[in-house]
Amino acid sequence: MMIKNIIIIGAGPAGLTTALQLKRYGLAPMVFERAEVGGLLRNANLVENYPGFPEGIPGPKLIQLFDAQIKRLGVRVNFENIIELGWEGNEFQATSQAGSYDAGVVVIATGTKPRVLTHLTIPAELREKVMYEVYPLLNIEGERVAIVGAGDAAFDYALNLSRKNEVIILNRGAHVTCLPLLWERASLTPCITYRQNTCISRVNSAPNDEILLDCESAEGTTSIVVNYLIGAIGREPQLDFVSPQLLGQASELEKRGVLYMIGDVKNGLYRQTAIATGEGLLAAMKIYQGFKE
């Protein structure tokens, strides 16, 4: 298989591992990232199941190590947002606002995007205070934050922010889906309050640039005033940039060994850093094997 160019879209653990291994093979993939390297590790309070760190490691710290490693090996990341990816004439076309690029092999490692709180109308003046990731708030102190969700992300965000802030977790149901370890830690943290069967019915502005949340529960309607609101109600694959035609041919192109979807973009519930890096390494080895053949 002759490889014209190799493009990797996404510089999280999966994409970076692919790039590192290809670089070791003497290949020079083009890596594109729309924001920052590291992917969802930016949100991780503590990564405890990644080998080599007996005490666990904060997500941002692990990103720093990844970044140092790719720089040492000379992997260059192009900070361009790929807005369209198509397949025509036996090659891929990737388009960003800066230009267009052709490739014989493409690795999609774009991860996921958050599901938004579509049932709520957010006043324009509050939209910058309603978020779906925790990393923009890691430096705040003395604030009150409401988090909607009941899974790992909601509780991990809460633990992360509770060091210097008050956090309220609002579960729209009664079932908690987070790891028992996270539940236990949150239950023992005084700055975290958990409310089940509580649904936000309305979002309004409050004095001092605060947010007034009207909440419905078995006890009736209550109001909560917070500084920030975070939605942590699930995620879905980030594939908006992939053309419908290419999506329809994806299975065939994967069998041909020219398209790879790796990491969180396809792993559903199995979104773990160790899995993503393993898939990145495997993809690079397969690409190199195809190159030799």
Label each residue of 22-67 as H, E or C: HHHCCCCCEEECCCCCCHHHHHCCCECCCCCCCCCECHHHHHHHHH
Q: Judge whether residue 201 has pLDDT over 80.
A: yes
Mean pLDDT score, 166-186: 96
35 with 107, same domain: the answer is yes
Give the integer Cα–Cα distance in Å for 78 and 91. Answer: 21
223 with 242, same domain: the answer is no
User: Which strands sit side by side in the sheet containing 130-131, from one edge to the other?
Assistant: 130-131, 228-231, 144-148, 166-170, 192-195
Contacts of residue 1, defined as CB under 8 A and 6 or more positions apart, other chains included, come to 104, 257, 258, 290, 291, 293
Q: Judge whether residue 188 has pLDDT over 50.
A: yes
Q: Would you state the pLDDT for residue 74?
A: 94
Stated length of the chain: 293
214: CATH: 3.50.50.60
Identify whether 37 is part of a domain.
yes
Instruction: Quote the mean pLDDT of the chain.
Output: 95
192 with 249, same domain: the answer is no
Q: Would you state the pLDDT for residue 3?
A: 54
175 with 222, same domain: the answer is yes
Closest C-alpha to 267, from 27, 37, 39, 30: 39
H helix or E strand, kind and range, residue 235: strand 235-237
CA 264 to chain centre: 8
Provide the 8-state DSSP code for 122: P
% residues pLDDT > 70 (the chain):
99
CA dihedral 124, 125, 126, 131 (to 10 degrees): 70
Q: Would you state the pLDDT for residue 107?
A: 98
Last residue of a domain, one of 231, 249, 266: 231
Mean pLDDT score, 134-157: 96
Q: Would you state the pLDDT for residue 23?
A: 96
101 with 239, same domain: the answer is yes
Last residue of a domain, one of 187, 202, 231: 231
CA 175 to chain centre: 24
Mean pLDDT score, 190-198: 97
What's the structural domain count of the chain?
A: 2
CA distances from 222 to 194, 201, 216 (A): 15, 10, 7
Q: Would you state the pLDDT for residue 269?
A: 87
pLDDT digit string (tens) for 105-134? 999 999 999 999 999 999 999 999 999 999
Identify whether 1 is part of a domain.
no
pLDDT band with cut points at 50, 70 and 90 for residue 89? confident
Tell me the backbone φ, ψ of residue 149, rounded to 5 degrees. 155, 170
Q: Judge whether residue 2 has pLDDT over 70.
A: no
Identify whether 119 is part of a domain.
no
Last residue of a domain, one of 231, 246, 274: 231
pLDDT digit string (tens) for 10-57? 999 999 999 999 999 999 999 999 989 999 999 999 999 999 999 999
Q: Judge whether residue 178 has pLDDT over 60.
A: yes
Mean pLDDT score, 163-191: 96
pLDDT digit string (tens) for 225-258? 999 999 999 999 999 999 999 999 999 999 999 9
**pTM > 0.85: yes or no:** yes
Q: Would you state the pLDDT for residue 255?
A: 96
13 with 74, same domain: the answer is yes
Q: Two tokens at 119?
A: 């049932």
160 with 225, same domain: the answer is yes
Identify whether 177 is part of a domain.
yes
Q: Would you state the pLDDT for residue 1?
A: 43
Identify whether 285 is part of a domain.
yes
Q: Which domain holds residue 157?
A: 124-231
216 with 282, same domain: the answer is no
Tell me the backbone φ, ψ of residue 287, rounded to 5 degrees. -60, -45
217 with 147, same domain: the answer is yes
CA distances from 247 to 4, 84, 201, 240, 289 (A): 21, 12, 37, 10, 25
Give the integer Cα–Cα distance in Å for 241 and 10. Answer: 12
Q: Would you state the pLDDT for residue 292?
A: 81
Give the integer Cα–Cα distance in Å for 1 and 130. Answer: 48
